[in-house]
Amino acid sequence: MNQSLTYYLALMVIKLKKVKKSFSKDPIDFKRLRKEDVYKPKGVFFKKNVIRNFKISDSLITEIGQKNDPDKLLIFIHGGAFICGPAKHHWDTIKAIAKQTNYMIWLCNYPKAPEHKISEISDNIDSIYNEALRTYKSNQISFIGDSVGGTLITALIQRLNIQNEGLPNKIILVCPVMDSSMSNPDIDKVDLVDPMLSKVGLLSAKKMCAAGIDLKNQMISPLYGSFERFPETILYLAENDITYPDQKLAVEKLKTANVTMKIVEGKNMPHIWPFLPVMKEAQSSLKEIITHLNKDQ
């Protein structure tokens, strides 16, 4: 299938913004990347539909919804290599989901590395889920996350299974980072065509977050944990993404565990493509994600 004109426009914007260059430095310049962060979204929609801002542990939660008493909660764990975010494209994605579903949505701005480490970040994700369970049953809760947001969601499910706790209804993972060690030899080949990420910078960010623990620890690299008893899992992968080789390994583990899942592979797509602005392929995939969510309404 040929890519759309907007696909090439999106790649041009990525190149002009020098995203790959930012992810080619060691140490990675996390302060520069944070200049793209958006903590309070602008616009009429958010003025009308942000219900409240509140803290859970060290995370700032923005609650968004168009219905006063929704019976479903979508917890949005954003990406950003553990060092930055949320960004404008995260808020734009939330706006689209909120407009077209009846979910209450929590955007979770969790603590970041290098000031905070993976153990602290993981504790925050646990606390967010536990707080959600005060209002919702586990089968009323779903998760969506891109990049390391997908890492954090996957690792949470693994911890919940170890503790024999109730699982969320479904998880939607958009280009999740499954192995922070970046040790898969196939990554070097993809690095040559990835327009956005580079192994050098991504590995630097993961080391900042790991704080000395083994980068293959399942808390930061869920590929090395169990995928048994996972809830329904929807995975969006991208061929031109250095995290793709490890996602394929995770897919095989999910298949072996007989998990109910749907896999969408983006041919020639860059990292987190369903959340990227402008691109026709992204808009189509986001509509598909919304359809998945509406199946539970």
Residue 234 and residue 172 in contact, taking contact as beta carbons nearer than 8 Å: yes
pLDDT category of residue 101 using cuts at 50, 70 and 90: very high
Residue 219 and residue 191 in contact, taking contact as beta carbons nearer than 8 Å: no
- 203: three-class secondary structure by DSSP: helix
- pTM for the model stands at 0.98
Q: How many angstroms separate the CA atoms of 16 and 86, rounded? A: 21
- Supply the CATH number for residue 242's domain: 3.40.50.1820
Residue 44, domain extent: 5-294
Q: From residue 186, how far is each of 182, 237, 239, 246 by CA, in Å?
A: 10, 15, 12, 9
Number of structural domains, the chain? 1
* pLDDT, mean of residues 13-42: 96
pLDDT of residue 70: 80
Query: Is pLDDT above 70 for 172?
Result: yes
pLDDT tens for each residue of 219-265: 999 999 999 999 999 999 999 999 999 999 999 999 999 999 999 99
pLDDT tens for each residue of 56-69: 999 999 999 987 67
